[in-house]
Amino acid sequence: MQSKSWLKAGLFAALATAAFAATPARAQGSLVMYCGVQEEWCRAMSTAFEKETGIKVAMTRKSAGEIYAQLKAESSNPRGDIWWGGTGDPHLQAAEEGLTLEYESPKNKELHGWALDQWKAAKQRSVGIYAGALGFGFNTEQIKAKGIPEPKCWADLLNPKLKDDVQVADPNSSGTAYNLLATVVQLMGEEKGFDYLKQLHKNVSQYTKSGAAPAKAASLGETAVGIVFIHDAVVFAVQGDPIKPVAPCEGTGYEIGSMSIVKGARNLDNAKKFYDWALTPAAQALAAPAKSYQVPSNKAAPVPAQSPKMDQMKLINYDFVKYGSSAERTRLLAKWDKEVKALP
Ligand code: PLP
């Protein structure tokens, strides 16, 4: 994955913003956007698209599992047009269940192979917009106060001294937490992976709804460890908070953050316009100024200097087709509810 300077990224974003600002808004109808990343980035995207096209965007931010559940609940009367962002697994499940629409963007040829792999796995119903690796962030002051070594590995999170001091989201609502569930199953095997999650449960103080929330809690010292996408911990580290992002020593999983058009979208043309625009380098450059440090999917989009270096990590060969399948995701979530969350 390429790496360019932060300065260049900022300049690019500034130019992109200036270009949007210079374009007069025209009344062009509306777009209902379900947004799966952090609120600030969601707002930057919807505002810039509105300015560029005059299309009024009604945006709602939710976690990936929640957006999937909403599409399913609304399938007989779809309200949304575009689902932008969030981990790829629930996008794949929605694709398999026919909740989203096939689309081939003219921008596809500008994308990294991993973004197109998602498009192929989804039978053209979803495409990769960014990538990010899973890990955790720990509060350096809290770890020091506990007198334990800095955690470097998944195994270190089972230290009894971390009892009630680890936060992670609930995989039913959060794409991040489902990514963790699928990662440990792939990394350790299903039996050992579930054993690990049961042990971890003893240290988990609460399962949050949103995947990135534990990073903020760790940055504030409300928890010693937050299991999150590494870029979500970087957000707080770069602003000087006492949090250290970690790529676990045993290896880790990663996400292909994705985008899909809702089947039955009332504003289909506008959804396609958004889709094409969201794949441009200019739109993808809006991430870093909105404090989102994922690796963008357009090869020409600047990679923020803060982006975790995925090519220097031990990444598992994440099986997106299997773990994004309706049967596997449903089965693993039900098993986690029964065997992990139900534990005292
Ligand atoms: N925030 C960021 C910056 C992400 O990259 C992602 C995943 O794509 C999420 C949040 C996922 O949120 P959640 O785990 O709440 O579905």
Q: Which atom of ligand 1 is nearest to the CA of 41?
A: 3
Number of domains in the chain: 2
Q: Say if residue 224 is in the same domain as residue 176.
A: yes
Give the residue from 52, 117, 49, 54 showing the smallest Cα distance to 82.
49
Residue 319 inside a domain? The answer is: no
Domain that includes residue 30, residue range: 6-131+255-310
Q: Is 232 in the pocket of ligand 1 (CB under 6 A)?
A: yes
Q: Using alpha carbons only, what angle is made at residue 222 by residues 217 and 225, rounded to the nearest 5 degrees?
A: 65
Using alpha carbons, select from 224, 27, 65, 22 the residue that is nearest to residue 137: 224
Q: Is 74 exposed, middle or buried (CB count within 10 Å of its CB: 0-12, 13-18, 19+)?
A: middle
State whether residue 263 is helix, strand or coil: coil
Q: Is the CB of 252 under 6 A from ligand 1?
A: no
Pocket test for ligand 1, best of 34, 35, 37, 174 (most atoms within 8 A of CB): 37
Residue 41 DSSP SS3: helix
Is residue 316, in this structure, part of any structural domain at all? Answer: no
Asked if residue 207 and residue 298 are part of one domain, the reply reads: no
- Residues 32 and 101 grouped into a single domain: yes
CATH number for the domain that contains residue 153: 3.40.190.10
β partners of residue 221: none
Whole-Å CA distances, 182 to 119, 313, 335: 20, 18, 12
Residue 57 shares a structural domain with residue 203 = no
- pLDDT, one tens digit for every residue, the chain (344 residues): 333 333 333 434 444 444 444 444 455 799 999 999 999 999 999 999 999 999 999 999 999 999 999 999 999 999 999 999 999 999 999 999 999 999 999 999 999 999 999 999 999 999 999 999 999 999 999 999 999 999 999 999 999 999 999 999 999 999 999 999 999 999 999 999 999 999 999 999 999 999 999 999 999 999 999 999 999 999 999 999 999 999 999 999 999 999 999 999 999 999 999 999 999 999 999 999 999 999 999 999 999 999 999 999 999 999 999 999 999 999 999 999 999 999 99
| Torsion, CA 268, CA 273, CA 276, CA 280, rounded to 10 | -150
First to last CA, the chain: 43
Separation between Cα atoms, residue 334 and residue 319, nearest integer Å:
19
* C-alpha to C-alpha distance for 53 and 115, rounded to whole angstroms: 25
